[in-house]
């Protein structure tokens, strides 16, 4: 929008009127978004297993009241910690989308086109960095269980905060561009890492948890945006944002997902403990699982599993 469409609209359609150009150019992403939404609704399936209607018909999905699902997700402390943390990554991304170009224009006296081109670096990191954050979270989970995911989440947020401090402190254009790139990578990685944890918080209400956590992004953008508008020295506004982001990284110490060990408390559920299905939660009791070696004449790798209720 900044490097191609804005100059085109300004010079070709509005005879150099930048005010009309930047307002009108916003119609383009609106049309693209609406078209994409129509394509998604009309051509895609609801989830990897197919459409919800068919899944319910096959008996593979139980009916859950929306209010009960929301309540179940909303009363979980982890949901709101992740809400805060998502406000400090996706909320920061939205804030940077709003203020980065202006920052480069004011601080380094660049043209709108040049500043927009540099600011677009922040968005282009989404091509790989968000997926990289989730992928790395999976790898940490495989090796260190949930503590690995939480550790990676804390790392991305703390590194993001440090990059914000450094970005706002440098006075050389090349250094600002380099730090903006690293800053963006950690921001997007934190977003992917957050949603690496979300599905585990409350498996019975994943939609509610995902929705609440996702709402943290716009909330953070609004609050950080107010900071940038109210604090006269933009460097101090960046410092304030960086401090809050680092605090959110430290808050990972208090994440403790049920059935998984956190940093301060909790424990990983024994994988050899089976729960009797279709019982009320308070009546569920673990079953003892005994593994006996196969008879000598059988393969040495064969095992017989006996379950005692």
Identify which of 42-46, 56-60, 148-152, 303-307 has the greatest average pLDDT: 148-152
Find out whether 264 and 146 touch, Cβ atoms under 8 Å: no
Own/partner pairs for 68-75, CB < 8 Å, 24+ apart? 68/205, 69/204, 69/205, 69/207, 69/208, 70/205, 70/208, 70/211, 71/208, 72/202, 72/204, 72/205, 72/208, 73/201, 73/202, 73/205, 73/206, 73/207, 73/208, 73/209, 73/211, 73/212, 74/208, 74/212
Q: Considering only residues 158 and 288, tell me which one the structure prediction assigns the higher pLDDT.
A: 158
Other residues' Cβ atoms within 10 Å of the Cβ of residue 234? 16
- Per-state percent for the chain, helix, strand, coil, to nearest 5: 70, 5, 25
Please report the sign of the dihedral spanned by the C-alpha atoms of residue 9, residue 14, residue 17, residue 19. Answer: negative
Question: Cα separation of 286 and 276, whole Å?
Answer: 7
Cα 257 to chain centroid distance, Å, stands at: 17
Over residues 297-304, mean pLDDT = 45
What's the pLDDT score for residue 298? 43
Q: Is 304 exposed, middle or buried (0-12, 13-18, 19+ CB in 10 A)?
A: exposed
Other residues' Cβ atoms within 10 Å of the Cβ of residue 47? 10
Going by pLDDT thresholds of 50, 70 and 90, the confidence category of residue 52 is confident
193 Cβ partners below 8 Å, 6+ apart? 133, 134, 136, 137, 149, 152, 153, 156
Assess whether pLDDT exceeds 70 at residue 285. no
Domain ranges of the chain: 1-50, 68-254, 274-308
Evaluate if pTM is beyond 0.85. no
Other residues' Cβ atoms within 10 Å of the Cβ of residue 201? 24
Q: Considering only residues 66 and 223, tell me which one the structure prediction assigns the higher pLDDT.
A: 223
What's the pLDDT score for residue 136? 96
What's the pLDDT score for residue 2? 73
Task: Convert the pLDDT of each residue in 210-226 to its tens digit.
Answer: 999 999 999 999 999 99
What's the pLDDT score for residue 278? 43
The domain defined by 68-254 carries CATH number 1.20.1250.20: yes
DSSP element (H, E) containing 151: helix 146-169
- Listed residue (207, 81, 261) closest to 154, CA to CA: 81
**% pLDDT > 90, the chain:** 55
Task: Convert the pLDDT of each residue in 70-119 to its tens digit.
Answer: 888 889 999 999 999 999 999 999 999 889 999 999 999 998 888 988 99
Number of H-type helices and E-type strands within the chain: 13, 3
């Amino acid at each position: 929008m900044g490097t191609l469409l804005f100059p085109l609209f300004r010079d070709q359609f509005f005879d150099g009127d930048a005010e009309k150009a930047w307002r009108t150019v916003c119609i383009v992403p609106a049309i693209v978004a609406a078209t994409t939404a129509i394509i998604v609704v009309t051509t895609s399936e609801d989830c990897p297993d197919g459409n919800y209607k068919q899944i319910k018909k096959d008996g593979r999905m139980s009916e859950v009241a929306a209010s009960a699902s929301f309540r179940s997700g909303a009363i979980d402390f982890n949901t709101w910690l992740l809400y805060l943390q998502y406000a400090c990554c996706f909320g920061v991304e939205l804030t940077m989308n709003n203020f980065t170009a202006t920052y480069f224009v004011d601080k380094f006296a660049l043209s709108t086109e040049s500043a927009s081109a540099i600011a677009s670096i922040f968005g282009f990191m989404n091509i790989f960095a968000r997926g990289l954050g989730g992928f790395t979270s999976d790898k940490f989970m495989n090796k260190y269980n949930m503590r690995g995911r939480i550790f990676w989440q804390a790392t991305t947020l703390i590194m993001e905060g440090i990059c914000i401090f450094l970005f706002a402190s440098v006075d050389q254009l090349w250094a600002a561009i380099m730090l903006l790139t690293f800053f963006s990578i950690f921001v997007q990685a934190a977003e992917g890492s957050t949603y690496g944890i979300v599905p585990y918080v409350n498996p019975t209400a994943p939609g509610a948890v995902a929705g609440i956590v996702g709402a943290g992004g716009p909330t953070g953008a609004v609050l950080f945006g107010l900071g940038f508008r109210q604090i006269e020295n933009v460097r101090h506004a960046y410092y304030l944002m960086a401090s809050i982001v680092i605090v959110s990284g430290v808050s990972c110490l208090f994440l403790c997902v049920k059935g998984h060990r956190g940093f301060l408390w909790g424990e990983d559920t024994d994988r050899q403990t089976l729960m009797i299905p279709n019982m009320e939660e308070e009546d569920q009791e673990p079953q003892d699982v005994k593994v006996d070696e196969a008879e000598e004449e059988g393969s040495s790798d064969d095992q017989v599993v006996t379950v005692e209720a």
